[in-house]
Amino acid sequence: MPAAESPLLRAARRQPTDFTPVWLMRQAGRYLPEYRAMRERFGFLELCRNPDAAAAVTLEPVDRLGVDAAILFADILLIVEPMGVGLEFARGAGPVVRRPVRSPADVRRLVPVDPLEATPFVFDTVRIVRRALAGRVPLIGFAGAPFTVASYLIEGGASREYLETKSLMHREPAAWHELMDVLVDVTAKYLNGQIAAGAQAVQLFDSWVGALGPDDYREFVLPHSRALVRALTPGVPVIHFGTGTASLLPLMKGAGGDVIGLDWRVDLDEAWARLGSDVAVQGNLDPAALLARPEHFRVRVRAILDRAGGRPGHIFNLGHGVLPQTPVDHVIALVDMVHDMSKR
């Protein structure tokens, strides 16, 4: 089957499909014993930098789960690790930035990065995966959106309130926009490098942008996200995803993307109506639902598919990533449910 005719890529272009395609954020993650075994052998950054191992992690869920796309195994902070910010991945603690960016001088000290030279292992992984997939399903590349990557750099890691980030935005707006321009440039090169290596769609993870209100999004985020999307290779579908974004969805659409990702805090039909029929949507089962027995989350799956109404342009996914404690059998059951319930 030609890649352009795969259900996922057809859905991303709002074309009819025989069933609703499904893939899952963090489908190659800690809930899989194969991934946990790989992590016993490799540290996180070591795994990302080993193309053969990263490709194996990317490919494992395709056959194990029966999903309709592979998602590249990497991390949204790989492109900033060479910038001199002291990025570390502590086991069980997530990413830590030892030298956070909190002033105009900190922004100016960032080391210029060409991802083609700094992260060649990512593009090697893409090439290995594409060869191994042999056209069975498409490969999705990804990157962090500028706001979310900036928030990690400024906060020094994950945050609940993003006070350092918001402080820099309002206290030093010129430095904020300079930082965002740097991230737009490197992220565009990074994603276009993935596309050149073989990625057939890309997802922008703006996971933390829901911390902002609409006015701040308009002023501090939208112009940069729009510039990034416009800099990407034409013709490759872009999925634009965030969490806590119920009030931001029309603005995110304005920033760009062929598909808008929805978290579980919105009803899919109402969100799609607000976005308009000229964009596809992705989502949006609460990941915690998969902790219940399949007969319980079947009802939620049915409700989401009913809200989509069989319209072209729906890609089924969770509202965020698969939780580490999720039983593998439940994930397999979910994929089978979506395929069976959505047959046209």
Catalytic residue list contains 307: no
Alpha-carbon Rg of the chain, whole angstroms? 19
Q: Choose the catalytic residue: 26, 49, 102, 130.
A: 26
- What is the identity of the amino acid at 340? D
Is the preceding peptide bond at 284 cis, omega within 30 degrees of 0? Answer: yes
The C-alpha atoms of residue 240 and residue 252 are separated, in whole angstroms, by 7
Catalytic residue list contains 39: yes
Q: Choose the catalytic residue: 39, 127, 265, 298.
A: 39
Beta carbons of 285 and 228 less than 8 angstroms apart: no
- 173: phi then psi, degrees, rounded to nearest 5: -60, -35
Catalytic residue list contains 162: no
The C-alpha atoms of residue 143 and residue 192 are separated, in whole angstroms, by 11
Sole residue written with tokens 């057939």: 200
Q: Choose the catalytic residue: 35, 106, 130, 152.
A: 152
Helices (H), the chain: 7-12, 33-41, 44-48, 51-65, 104-109, 115-118, 120-133, 146-155, 163-171, 173-197, 214-220, 222-230, 249-255, 268-275, 294-308, 328-341
The C-alpha atoms of residue 279 and residue 313 are separated, in whole angstroms, by 7
Q: Choose the catalytic residue: 31, 35, 68, 75.
A: 75
Beta carbons of 290 and 320 less than 8 angstroms apart: no
Catalytic residue list contains 152: yes
- Among 22, 23, 12, 67, which residue's Cα sits nearest to residue 312? 12
The C-alpha atoms of residue 96 and residue 8 are separated, in whole angstroms, by 34
Catalytic residue list contains 91: no
Q: Choose the catalytic residue: 14, 30, 218, 311.
A: 30
List the structure tokens of 40: 């016993």
Write out the catalytic residue numbers: 26, 30, 39, 75, 152
